[in-house]
Amino acid sequence: MPETALLPLIVASAFIGCLVPGLLARFGRNMSALGAAGVMASCLALLIPLIPTVLAGKTLLTAYAWLPDYGLNLAFRLDGLGLLFCLLILGIGLLVVLYAYYYLPESDRLGRFYTFLLLFMAAMLGVVLSENLLLLVVFWEVTSISSFLLIAYKRDQRDSRHAARMALAITGGGGLALLAGVLLLGYIAGSYELSVVLAEGERILNHALYAPMLILILLGAFTKSAQFPFHFWLPNAMAAPTPVSAYLHSATMVKAGVFLLARLHPALAGSELWFWLVSGTGAITLVYAAYIAFHRYDLKGLLAYSTISHLGLITLLFGLDTPLSVVAGVFHIINHAIFKASLFMAAGIIDHECGTRDMRQVNGLFKFMPITATLAIVAAASMAGVPLLNGFLSKEMFFTEAVGHPVFEDMSWLLPLFATIAGILAVAYSSRFIHDVFFNGDPIDLPRQPHEPPRWMRAPVEILVVLCLLVGIFPQWSIAPLLGAAASSVLQTPLPAFELAVWHGFNLPFIMSLVALAGGITLYALRQPFFALHDRLPSIHANLVFKRLYEQLMIFAHRVVSWLDNGSLQRYLASFTTFVLALGGWAWYSGPSTLADATYQPADSAAFAALATLMVGALGATLLHRQRFTAILFTSVVGLVVALTFVRFSAPDLALTQLAVEVVTIVLLLLVLHYLPQHSPAEDSGPRLIRDAALAACAGAGLGATAFAMMGTPFETISGFYLAQSVPGGGGSNVVNVILVDFRGFDTLGEITVLAMVGLAAHALLDKLILVAPGHDSDGRPWAKELHPLFLSILMRPLLPLALAVSIFILLRGHNMPGGGFVAGLVTGVALILQYLASGIDFALQRLPRHKAKLLALGLLLAAATGAASWLFGYPYLTSTHGHIALPLIGEIELASVMVFDLGVYIVVVTTVLMVLAQLGRLSRHNEESA
Amino acid sequence: MEAIVATAIGILTTCGIFLMLRARTFPVVLGLTLLSYAVNLFLFASGRLMLDAPPLIRAGARYTDPLPQALVLTAIVIGFGMTAYLLMVALRAMAETGDDHVDGREKS
C-alpha cells in the first residue's frame, strides 16, 4: 500500500473509532477508557511509518474526488506542520484519556465523554491533514460542534450550557466567516487545493479581493484562537471538565486558529494589511490577557487568560512576518501546548484534591503534595520563560525578533519595550500561580483535606514536564528536526539559519529576559496596590456585552418570527402571493416586452361557448362560495369544461383522467361537506375582500398574460425523441403512456408513492375520529331516513362487474391507445364509489379486500420490482422490454414489461381511493349507529 | 384560440386565489381545485394548442407535444391526492377544534 493511502485511513479510523468507547461503556469505564486509548494509539501507529519521510522534507498528498465540480475533494496532505499537529493532538490526547479516567467521577461510565473527545480529535486531525480548503472548513465546523458537546459535558449545569452556547456562537460564527473567506481565496487562486493556493501568493496579494478575503479568514482564525476582542468565550469555557480544558486549550481547539495562520502563511502573508492586522491583534491580546490573568483568583481563570495571552504571542509572531519569527511562532505552539497541558492537569489535580480552585483559599499546598507541586512549579516556570525550560527558548526567539524587526526603524525601541512588558506580566502571573498556590501560608477553609493524587493521575503531568526539560535543555537533539520540518512547510522555502541553543551569549534579548524576570517578581511582590487599583477601574466585561447582544438578537428574532409567523394561513398565502407577484412584476418590467413574432390561431364559436361556461362555473363557485353545496356544483362545471378542452386539443388521455378525477373529487367533496358547516359565515371585512380580490385579479391577469405570450411564441420541443422512440424503444404507440411508464418511469414511481401516502394519511388522520353530522340540512329539513334507495342499489350491482371489465380494458390497452393505470384505477374507484352510494358502506366494504395497506404495498412493490427486474439482466433500473405473444381467441398482443409497472400504478390508485373512502364511510357508519 | 385559453387560465387563477384567501377550510379546498385547473391548463398549453393531433403513433399522422401531457396527467392525479388529503385534514381540524376556521379559531 502506498504511504499516502494511510492519510485518509488515519482520519477515517478516528471518526469510526468515535463509536468504540460508547459501545464499550456498557462493560464499564475501564473498557471505555481502553477503547478510547486504543483508537488514539492506532491512529498514532498509522502515523508513525510516515514520520521519516516527512522529516526528510517531503509532503505526502493523496486525493479522492468527492464533489469535483464544486472543487471539494477528499484530499489529504501530510507535511511538517501537519505532522507536528498530529503528534500534539494524538500525544496529548492519549495523556488526556489517562488523566480523565482518574479525574471524572467513578460513577461516570465515560462512554459519552470519550466519544465526544474522539469526535473532536478526529475533526482536529481532519483540519490539520486537509489538502482541500473546503474539506478543511468542513472539519473546522466539526471541531466547533464537538467542542460545544465537550464544553457542555456537565449538561445539568447552567454555566456549562451557557459557556458551550457562547463558544459555539463565537467559533461557529467565525467558521462561517472562514467559509466565505476560503471561497474567495479559492476563487482568487483558481483552486481549493492547498498545493495550488500556497504557490499563488503573488497573485493573491495583488488581487482586488485580497483585503475582504483576508479579513474573513482572519475572523475565522481569531475567533477560534480567542484573540481580542473575541477572547471571552475561552475563560467561560473553563466550565468544562478540566481534562477538556487541558486538551482544547493547550494543544488543539484554540491552536486550530494559529494553525490556519501558519498553514496559509505563504498564500496570505507579505502585505502591510497582514502585518498590521495580525501582529496588532496578537500584540493587544498578548498584553491585555496577561494583565487580566495576573488579576484572576480562579486557578483555571488565570490559566485561561494566560492561554489567550500566549495565543496572542503566537499570532504576533506570525504577524511580524520574518522567517525567524515564523519559526519562533511554530516553536511556541509546541512549547505552549506542552507546558499549558501540564498546568491545566495540575490545576485539575488541585481542584480534585482540595474541592476548590480559588487562590484566596488554596495556599501552601507544597507540604501536602510536594511532587505535584514541583511538577507544577517547573511547568509554570516554563510558562514564565525561565532558562533551561522550553518556554524560555521560544520567548528568547521572540525577543530577538522584537529587537531586530525592520518595520519599526524609527521607533526601534517600541517593540522590544512591548515585548518586555509582556514578559514582565507573564512572569508576574506565573509567580502568582506558584507562590499563591503552593506557598503563601496555609490553606483557608478547604472543602477537602488535600493530598497527592493517585499515582497514574499524575503520570501525564510528569511526562509533559519531562518534555519541558528535554526541549529546554537539549533543544537541538530533541525538537530541532520536527521544528525544522514544520517551519519549512509553513514557509514553503528553505529554512533560515537559526540556532537552537540554551546560551546565545550576553546580548540584548537576554537582558530583556532578565528584566522580565526581575520585573515580574517585583510586580508580584507589589501586587496589593495593583489589585486595589484594578478593583477601582471600571470593568467592561466582554461577557456582559455578549450577553446583551445575544439577548437583543433573541428579542429581535422573536419579533421577526411573530411578525412573519403569526399562525394565520390567510396572511401567509396573501404575503406569498404578493411576493410572487412582485417577482413576476419585476421580471415583466425588466424583461423584453415585444411579442413581435407571436402567431395565433383563429378562435371559433365552440371555444367561446366553452369559455362562457367556464366563466359561469368559476365565477359562480367564487361568488356563491358561502353556499357550499352550490359552489361544489359550479366547480364540477369547470372540471367538465377543462376535460373538454383536453379533448379539443388532442389530449385524450388527459380528458379521460380529468373526467374520472372529477367524479371522484366531487363525490369526496360532497361526503366531506356532510360533516362541515353547510355555509361559510360572512366574516371577512370589506377592505380585506377588496384586497384579496385585487391580489387574485393581479395574479390571474399575470398568469393569463404569461400563458398568452407563451402560447404565441415559437418553441422547439424536446419531445422528438419520445415520439421517435415510443414504438421501437418503448413498445407502445400511446406516447403519453410510454413516457409515464417507461421513459419517465422513475417519476411515476415517485408519484404513486405520494398517492400511497395519501391513502395512509387517510388512516392516520381519520381513524378513531368521531364527527357527528347534523341530522338535518342547513334549512332545518331532516335528511331522508331512507338511506339507500332500492332502485339505485339494484341498478348499480350489475354495473360493478361491467365497470371492472371496462377498467381492465382501459388498463390493458393503455400502452397503445388512450388509457393506462391511472385512468383505469380511477374508473375502478368510481365504480366502487357508486356501489357505496347505492348500497352503503357496509355492503361495499364487505366486498373489498380488508388489508388495504398491504394492497398498497403490493402495488408499490410491483412497480418497484418491475424496475429492479431489469437489474437481473444487467440493464439500468426501469429498463423496459417488450415482445409479442399470441393468445388463443384474442390473437397476437404486444406485451411489455411496463404493463406490470402499470398494474402496480393501477393497484395503488384504486387502493388509495378505497382507503380514503373507507375512512369517510366509517364516519358515516358511526352516525348511523348513533342515530 | 390562444387568447381564449389564456383568459380561462386567468379567470381560474383569479377565482382560485381569491377562494384560497378565505378563512374557512372548505373554500380553501375549492380554491385549490380551481387553481389546479389553471396550473394544469397552463402546463398543458406550454406544449401549444394543436387540433386533431393526439400523440398516438399511427401512419402519416402529425402529433402534438406529448411531454406536457404526461406531466399534466400525473399533475391531475397528484392534485386529486392533495385535495383528498386536505379534505381529511379539514375533517380532522373540525373534530379537534370544533370549528372549520383555517387557523383553528373563530376570528384572526
| Residue A883 bridge partners (DSSP) | A895
Amino acid identity at A834: L
Q: Is residue A627 helix, strand or coil?
A: strand
Let me know if residue B92 belongs to a domain.
yes
pLDDT given for residue A329 in this prediction: 92
CATH of the domain at B73: 1.10.287
Lowest-pLDDT choice from A260-264, A485-489, A824-828, A847-851: A847-851
| Whole-Å CA distances, A558 to A484, A561, A565 | 54, 5, 10
B/e letters for A390-429, b = 16+ CB within 10 Å, e = fewer, are bbbbbbbbbbbbbbbbeeeeeeeeebbebbbbbbbbbbbb
More confident residue, A718 or B45: B45
C-alpha grid cell, residue A552: 437583543
The verdict on a CB contact (< 8 Å) between B11 and A649 is no
Query: In Å, how far is A914's CA from the nearest CA of chain B?
Result: 12
- Pick among B56, B72, B105 to test the A interface (most A CBs inside 10 A): B56
Least confident of A137-141, A225-229, A682-686, A846-850: A846-850
Residue in chain A nearest B24 by alpha carbon: A680
Q: Tell me whether residues B51 and A762 touch, CB distance under 8 A.
A: no
Chain B residues whose beta carbon lies within 8 Å of the beta carbon of residue A638: 12, 34, 37
- At CA A374, angle to CA A370 and CA A379, rounded to 5? 150
Residue-level pLDDT at A786: 62
Contact A661 B80 (CB under 8 A): yes
Mean pLDDT over A735-748 rounds to 85
- How far is Cα A235 from Cα A305, in angstroms, rounded to an integer? 7
Please give the mean pLDDT across all residues of chain A. 87
How many Cα atoms are found within 13 Å in the side-chain-facing hemisphere of B13? 27
What's the pLDDT at A716? Answer: 81
Residue A667, pLDDT score: 87
- The pLDDT confidence band at residue B102, using thresholds 50, 70 and 90, is confident
Neighbours of A190 (CB within 10 A): 12
Q: How confident is the model at residue A821 (pLDDT cuts 50, 70, 90)?
A: confident
Model confidence band, residue B107 (pLDDT cutoffs 50, 70, 90): very low
Q: Which residue of B has its CA nearest to A693?
A: B18
Half-sphere exposure of residue A802: CA atoms within 13 angstroms, side-chain side: 7
Would residue B20 count as lying in a domain? yes
**What nine digits make up the cell of A115?**
466519544
What are the DSSP calls for A752-808, one per residue? HHHHHHHHHHHHHHHTT---PPPSB-TTSPBPPS--S-HHHHHHHTTHHHHHHHHHH
Distance (Å) from the alpha carbon of A596 to chain B's nearest alpha carbon: 16
Q: Quick count: other Cβ atoms within 10 Å of Cβ A505?
A: 7
On whether residue B19 sits in a domain, the answer given is: yes
What mean pLDDT do residues B84-92 have?
A: 90
A656 to chain B, any CB pair closer than 8 A? The answer is no
Which residues in chain B touch residue A570, judged by CB atoms under 8 angstroms apart? 21-23, 102-103, 108
B55 assigned to some structural domain: no
Cell of A110: 465515560
Identify whether the C-beta of residue A818 lies closer than 8 Å to the C-beta of residue A656.
Answer: yes
The proportion of chain A whose per-residue pLDDT surpasses 90, expressed as a percent, equals 42
Number of domains in chain B: 1
Question: How many Å apart are CA A229 and CA A795, to the nearest integer?
Answer: 86
pLDDT at B99: 82
In a domain, B26, yes or no: yes
Query: Which whole-number Å values give the CA distances from A112 to A93, A150, A154, A246, A797, in the listed order?
Result: 16, 9, 11, 18, 66
Closest residue to B77, CB basis, from A621, A631, A755: A755
Mean pLDDT (whole number) for A568-575 = 88
Establish if B75 touches chain A: CB-CB under 8 angstroms: no
Q: Which among B2, B19, B27 has CB closest to A601?
A: B2
A849 or B68: which leads in pLDDT: B68
- In this predicted structure, the answer to whether residue A779 has a pLDDT above a threshold of 50 is yes
Mean pLDDT of B31-41: 95
Minimal Cα–Cα distance from B59 to chain A, Å? Answer: 11
Q: Does A650 touch chain B (CB under 8 A)?
A: yes
Residue pairs between chains A and B whose CB atoms are closer than 8 Å = 305
The pLDDT assigned to A315 comes to 94
Nearest to A614 by CA among B7, B39, B80: B7
Closest partner CB to B102 (pick from A570, A668, A717): A570
Burial of A754 (C-beta count, 10 Å sphere; 0-12/13-18/19+)? middle
Residue B31 lies in a domain: yes
Scan residues 722-751 of A and list those with Cβ closer than 8 Å to B. 722-723, 726-727, 733-736, 739-740, 744, 747-748, 751
pLDDT mean over A580-591: 88
Question: d(Cα A711, Cα A597) in Å, to the nearest integer?
Answer: 11
Average pLDDT rounded to a whole number, residues A392-406: 86
Residues of B in contact with A693 (CB under 8 A): 18
**A696 C-beta neighbours (distance < 10 Å), count:** 23
For residue A592, give the C-alpha cell. 423584453
| Burial class (CB within 10 angstroms; exposed 0-12, middle 13-18, buried 19+) of A317 | buried
Predicted structure pTM score: 0.70
CB contact under 8 A, B42 and A707: yes
C-alpha cell of A383? 510558562
Kindly report the nearest CA distance between residue B24 and chain A, in angstroms.
Answer: 7
CB spacing of A703 vs B27 below 8 angstroms:
no
CB contact under 8 A, A672 and B90: yes
Task: Kindly determine whether residue B3 and residue A600, on different chains, have CB atoms separated by under 8 Å.
Answer: yes
Contact A546, A166 (CB under 8 A): yes
Q: A714 to chain B, minimum CA–CA distance in Å?
A: 9
Q: Is B108 a member of any domain?
A: no
Confidence grade of residue A333 (pLDDT, cut at 50, 70, 90): very high
How close is the nearest chain A Cα to the Cα of B6, in Å? 5
Mean pLDDT of chain B: 88
CB contact under 8 A, A747 and B40: no
Is it the case that residue A766 has pLDDT exceeding 90?
A: no
The answer to whether A658 faces chain B, any CB pair under 8 Å, is: yes
* pLDDT of res. A311: 94
Least confident of A247-261, A589-603, A734-748, B41-55: A589-603
Give the pLDDT confidence score for residue A883 in this predicted structure: 61
Question: Residue A262 pLDDT more than 90?
Answer: yes
Cβ contact A638–B34 (<8 Å): yes
- Please return the burial class of A364, using the count of CB atoms within 10 Å of its CB with bins 0-12, 13-18 and 19+: middle
The pLDDT score that the predictor gives to residue A930 is 54
Q: How far apart are CA A675 and CA A513, in angstroms?
A: 90
Mean pLDDT of B55-78: 87
Distance from CA of B86 to the nearest CA of A (A): 10
For residues A127 and A835, the model is more confident at A127
Give the pLDDT confidence of A608-653 residue by residue, as tens digits. 999 999 999 999 999 998 889 899 999 999 999 999 999 999 899 9
**Higher pLDDT among residues A740 and A928, named by residue:** A740
User: What is the spatial distance between Cα A635 and Cα A361, in angstroms, rounded to a whole number?
Assistant: 84
Q: What is the mean pLDDT of residues A776-793?
A: 71
Cβ-contact A63, A76 below 8 angstroms = yes
Cα–Cα nearest to A140, from A113, A164, A189, A176: A176
Average pLDDT of span A222-237: 90
**In which band, very low, low, confident or very high, does the pLDDT at A929 lie, cut at 50, 70 and 90?**
low
How does residue A888 score in pLDDT terms, banded at 50, 70 and 90?
low
For residues A192 and A450, the model is more confident at: A192
Asked if pLDDT for residue A924 goes beyond 70, the answer is: no
CB atoms within 10 A of CB A153: 20
Distances (CA, A) of B18 to A346, A625, A699, A858, B99: 72, 10, 10, 41, 21
Please give the Cα distance from A6 to A331 (Å, whole number). 27
Q: Is pLDDT of B28 > 90? A: yes
By residue range, what is the domain housing residue B41? 2-49+64-97
Q: Let me know: does A677 contact B94? Beta carbons within 8 Å.
A: no
Are A704 and B37 inside 8 Å of each other by CB? no
Set of chain B residues whose Cβ sits within 8 Å of the Cβ of A712:
2
pLDDT of residue B86 exceeding 80, the answer is yes
Is B89 within a domain?
A: yes
**Contact status, residue A290 vs residue A311, Cβ threshold 8 Å:** no
Please confirm whether the linkage preceding A229 is cis (ω < 30° from 0).
yes
| Cα distance between the two ends of chain B | 43
Q: Please determine, for residue A892, whether its predicted confidence score (pLDDT) is greater than 60.
A: no
Q: Is B97 on the interface with A (CB under 8 A)?
A: no
Q: How far is B16 from chain A (nearest CA, A)?
A: 8
